[in-house]
Amino acid sequence: MTYLMCMFMFGLVMGLVVVASNPSPYFGALGLVVVSGMGCGVLVGHGAPFLSLVLFLIYLGGMLVVFAYSAALAAEPYPETLGSRPVALHAGMYSLAVLVAAGVFWGGWYGESWVTADELVEFSVFRGDVAGVAMMYSSGGWMLVIGAWVLLLTLFVVLELSRGLSRGTLRAV
């Protein structure tokens, strides 16, 4: 289980490096899909399958639709790939920064300390994710409303930024 969690964390960090290295929107979307999938895998490994499913469906169903729409409006004739020189240079610098930060904070980090919520079942009546979902809807209701409002605001900002000087969706393609 520890090796699987290490693979999920490595994929998460590498996906973040791809997103941060600022390639074209197409490869950035691929990096976001990898980050979302690996992050949900980490949540499943820690005993939160329902929260992982909700995160995966909302994230991929909502934000990536907006991202794909804005990428379609801002289509480049020659997009920067992950292997091009500036993107590879940025990705290498970010990977080096991750390795330096890992070297600084490595002391006292042990893989055996990863305990899922379901391994402590004898101390609880509920599963780990069921109690978390109940808490999210009872005490965190306002946070869900604020999150929905931020997603709607992000939709309008992305659509306005991708519109540019043209007439938006009414332009001739």
| Two tokens, residue 107 | 């002391």
The Cα–Cα gap between 42 and 39 comes to: 5
With 60 as the cut, is the pLDDT of residue 171 above it?
no
pTM, full prediction:
0.64
pLDDT value of residue 167: 58
Are the C-beta atoms of 38 and 12 separated by less than 8 Å? yes
Tens digit of each residue's pLDDT (9 = 90 or more) over 1-17: 778 888 998 999 998 89
With 90 as the cut, is the pLDDT of residue 96 above it?
yes
Q: Specify the fold of 2-170.
A: Four Helix Bundle (Hemerythrin (Met), subunit A) (1.20.120)
pLDDT value of residue 162: 66
Question: Would you place residue 46 in the very low, low, confident or very high pLDDT band (cuts 50, 70, 90)?
Answer: confident
Compute how many other C-beta atoms are within 10 angstroms of the C-beta atom of residue 15.
20
Q: Which 3 state secondary structure label does DSSP give 106?
A: coil
Sign of CA dihedral 24, 88, 101, 44: positive
Domain assignments of the chain as residue spans, ordered by start? 2-170
Calculate the CA 90 to chain-centre distance. 19
